[in-house]
Amino acid sequence: MAAFGERVDGNLALMEPGQTIEQLADLIAADLPSLAARLRPDMLLVQGDTTSAWAAALSASRIGLAVGHVEAGLRSHDLTRPFPEERNRVEIDAISALLFAPTAESAANLAAEPAIRGRVVVTGNTGIDALLTIRRMINGWTLHDNAVRTILVTCHRRENIGAGIAAICAALQRIARRPDVRIILPMHPNPAVHGAIAQALGSTPRIELHPPFDYPTMVQMMDGAHLILSDSGGLQEEAPALGVPLLVLRDNSERPEVFASGNARLVGTDADRIVAATFELLDDPAAHAAMSQPAFPYGRGDASERILDAIEDWHATQWPGSVAERAISYRLPPIQA
């Protein structure tokens, strides 16, 4: 948040090392109602598909607080992959009053689900707002030249922990044998991810393991990379907007728009398939160029404005009358002109 000149007004400070998602959900359910009672908000906004978003939305629903879901309608149509994110998305959307779908396809997913009762608005995604804002702040630069191309890698999905990460690391070891590549891998703080990657790749030449980057640094890394390999959901939206080819290290995706745009390929976690796709994009300039045209399936940076407009429209229907009348009905002191 510091990169945007913002600060956190309140932090429940519930995250702890080694914490299970069930433990986190229980803590949120216990603490959020008292926070809501103190702040008395008209709506709780949650973004994405995390355990914290899911638990907060359920807690808000239980106390009668309206929920707005940013990034609604994304679906892999498989509740086990990604887990628990797909379940989280479905359940958050079912209890949301406002559903901010990033694309028309996301909105169509919601229209097909009988459980959806809220208002659906296609807005684009705020991740692109953030990406383009930071990109304008930093100077253009490159991490590669004609002799050495940089490959940015991220890996953290829960379903890849274990055999998936082992296969990805095996593929990276083979890719790193090439003298014309440099692999940069910021490691997720999850010990199960961090430990496995450090053990497998810690001494491999041409592979650089880093602590997690701050957001401006990550944008620079993405923007300057020749190629990205990732199992991240966010990078599936960001890489097309930057015009950087992306190989998705997952077996399915809730973001089909990136494959339709031609900016990404789904390669899974099979080491041979990862290596073959990477070598093709390193050795075939035409194949690389075909995936390098910027595309904006998730908006061009105005999702925040669209979301704000939708909230204002919703609020007007919930609170008819003047500002002063709304304040009185909400049991607040009248607002002075």
Residues that are catalytic = 49, 71, 85, 156, 158, 188
**How far, in Å, CA of 67 to CA of 244, rounded?**
35
Identity of residue 205: P
| Phi, psi dihedrals of residue 255, rounded to the nearest 5° | -125, 70
**How far, in Å, CA of 241 to CA of 251, rounded?**
22
Residue 56 neighbours by CB under 8 Å, 6+ apart:
28, 32, 44, 46
301: left (phi over 0), alpha (psi -120 to 50) or beta: left
**How many CB atoms are closer than 10 A to CB 97?**
18
**How far, in Å, CA of 309 to CA of 58, rounded?**
25
Copy the structure tokens of residue 151: 């490959």
CB 184 within 8 Å of CB 150? yes
**How far, in Å, CA of 286 to CA of 290, rounded?**
6
Handedness of CA 218, 222, 226, 231 (dihedral sign): positive
What kind and span of H or E run contains 44?
Answer: strand 43-47
CB 197 within 8 Å of CB 155? yes
Helix (H, G, I), strand (E, B) or coil at 112: coil
**How far, in Å, CA of 264 to CA of 241, rounded?**
11
